[in-house]
Structure 1
Amino acid sequence: MSSGMTTAAFGLSPKQQLSLTVVQCLTQVINLLCIGQTAISIIQAADLLDPAPYREPLILAYLIHTVVIGAGVQAFLVDRCWKIFKKRVLPIIPFIALGLVGLSAGVLLVSTLVAFVYMEHDEPQEQRLYSKPACPGLIWHTKRTHKMRSCDRL
């Protein structure tokens, strides 16, 4: 089939077809990332049933997938709203701001976890958890999580 027939069949211009193709590719990439995140969750759940300590790379992979999926979905939402609002900037600003806040929070969470996971393991665990945090706002959460894990062991 020639491109003229395809254009006539769908009633779309070549520019609109390209836009549709890009959006469909973005959707498929997000779907693949979701499948990967689901597989990581299943592996993590199976790993938690095992008495061995849980593995940090699985947690990191899960968080990174979550951040990337959230950013991709937010980008898709901004694109759709941009078209719905007829390419006006003012109504789109809150969506872009929320997307940036979500992405930056995810990046901070992942970087903090990476900092805690890959710190020197020759220090005592208490000292490792509370020293040199990448994001001081997460100290309370880290201490609380550590206390809950300590109570679970009793």
Structure 2
Amino acid sequence: MSDTAVGDAVARFASAWEASASAPDLAAYLPMSPALRRVTLIELVKVDLENRWLRGDHPKRLTEYCDELPELRRWPLPPDLLYEEFHIRRRSGESVEASEYTQNFPGQAGQLDELLGTGEYHSTALHRGETTLSVSPGSGGTLDDLEVGQRID
């Protein structure tokens, strides 16, 4: 797979959401390559979360994604994914507190406090509306460790 495989999969999935009245099958957009699969899965979940919650189309919580996609349970959920769910729930009008996440995910509490304590929301998603970013994780790199406001070049 090329360096842009993650970005391409995310863009195709986001386009499928835009073109359909119902949720596309997230698993159908996952690459077979183990090196890219987890990073792609995390980014696809971000797109799916946003569309489901903001459209009101059967919103899901991350725990439901973990039940449906067991590979999400192999590692702790990345703080940037928890951050996205927190803000998407808020943007959809739900009352949610940071303490809910720090209590439910104590292993990520320090990073969550840092992310959620910034006040201003800055998406960590690779795909934002019509803008798709190219991703090149490189040797051993991960996208799960993004900092708020950090650019992906």
TM-score normalised by length of structure 1: 0.28
Higher helix fraction (1 or 2):
1
Q: Which has the larger radius of gyration?
A: 1
Identify the structure with bigger relative contact order (alpha carbons < 8 Å, sequence gap 6+): 2
TM-score, with length taken from structure 2: 0.28
